[in-house]
Amino acid sequence: MNTLRTAMLLAAMTALFMGVGYLIGGAGGMMIAFLIAAATNLFSYWNADKMVLSMHRAVEVDERNAPEYYGIVRELASRASLPMPRVYLIDNPQPNAFATGRNPENAAVAATTGLLQRLSPEEVAGVMAHELAHVQNRDTLTMTIVATLAGAISMLGNFALFFGGNRDNNNPLGFIGVLVAMIVAPFAAMVVQMAVSRTREYAADRRGAEICGRPLWLASALDKIARNAERIHNPDAERNPATAHLFIINPLSGERMDNLFSTHPDTGNRIAALQAMATEWDASSGGPTMGGGQPNPAPAPRNAPQADAGHATGPWGGRPKAERPEPARPETNPWGRNPTGPKGPWS
């Protein structure tokens, strides 16, 4: 099913690319656009993940320089029966994360320093479980190729401003064709991004909750990320808006788009679905199954904060991390914790 969806998406994006080429240069322009689209598809399959990581200046980390973050991803990958992905860190204060790669064997997950600093280990586990769900569902290839092609279509639309509308270039619609190429084509590419991302986020939320075993970990993380993303600017994402749908929460400021055209479903609806999922599990006294058909809920986190009246903001109703004293942050450890200490919420 994922293979069919990817093939249909590639066909639609290629047809859109050719249509823009036709509007700019007639039949000749369409053929050139087809060749460019075919080359872009081939390049995207093998290299789009590297391009996206480079756009956001992601740096690969390991157990030595990011022990807790790396340990959480390793534990989650093991629980999901996935190969260990490459792990990246993005130096950005906005809390966010994404996954990329053409298949589970060549996957990568990336989190911002803001995510590691502003969320608890349990909430980070929920986020990274969501990203690994995208890997397991093979959404990453589709979403990464869409990011590359949407950016290329927007670029081609901009070319229309300089090369379209001339009577000597066989443009069949003249200035109207230029306007369509400049406005309609990038908009259509954005609609495809919306269709891909919105339908996959709910599925990744649910599967991510199953992988980490605690729906409320992810629900709490989504709430914190959404609130911080609204007030913390992400310059790299603003420069590369075609990659916005890769992130767990829209990283853009929203200055150039209305919520109607957001690439992500409403965060409140996602949180409500996860809360309903947690209630359902509590009612059945069970949890997610990781194979074999038996419930396999995650163990309770060590030293989980106790309920604190007036501060019920986390999954356990505990005091938000921002209100607790911050320890000194060693340069080699983005968590700011002792590298020899616990490596994750299940330690």
Report the C-alpha gap between 108 and 101 in whole angstroms: 6
| Radius of gyration of the chain measured on its C-alpha atoms | 22
Report the C-alpha gap between 2 and 90 in whole angstroms: 29
Give 126: exposed, middle or buried? Use CB within 10 Å, 0-12, 13-18, 19+: buried
What integer pLDDT is reported at residue 313 of this predicted model? 37
Give tens-digit pLDDT for 64-114.
Answer: 999 999 999 999 999 999 999 999 999 999 999 999 998 999 999 999 999
- On average, the pLDDT of the chain sits at 74
E strand or H helix that includes residue 346:
none
Report the C-alpha gap between 38 and 31 in whole angstroms: 11
Q: Catalytic site residues?
A: 131
What is the secondary structure of 39-84 as a DSSP string? HHHHHHHHHHHHHHHHHTTEEEE-TTTSHHHHHHHHHHHHHTT-PP
What integer pLDDT is reported at residue 97 of this predicted model? 97
Confidence of residue 285 (pLDDT cuts 50, 70, 90): low
The DSSP bridge partners found for residue 111 are 89, 97
More confident residue, 85 or 7: 85
Q: Record the pTM.
A: 0.71
Confidence of residue 240 (pLDDT cuts 50, 70, 90): confident
Least confident range from 31-35, 213-217, 270-274: namely 31-35
Backbone angles phi, psi at 166, to 5 degrees: -85, 135
What integer pLDDT is reported at residue 160 of this predicted model? 58
Q: List, as residue ranges, the binding site for Zn(2+).
A: 130, 134, 201
Report the C-alpha gap between 54 and 51 in whole angstroms: 5
Q: List, as residue ranges, the binding site.
A: 130, 134, 201
Give tens-digit pLDDT for 126-173.
Answer: 999 999 999 998 888 777 777 666 666 666 666 655 655 444 455 555
User: Minimal CA–CA distance to 338: which of 328, 346, 347?
Assistant: 328
What integer pLDDT is reported at residue 314 of this predicted model? 35
Tokens of 3: 């293979």
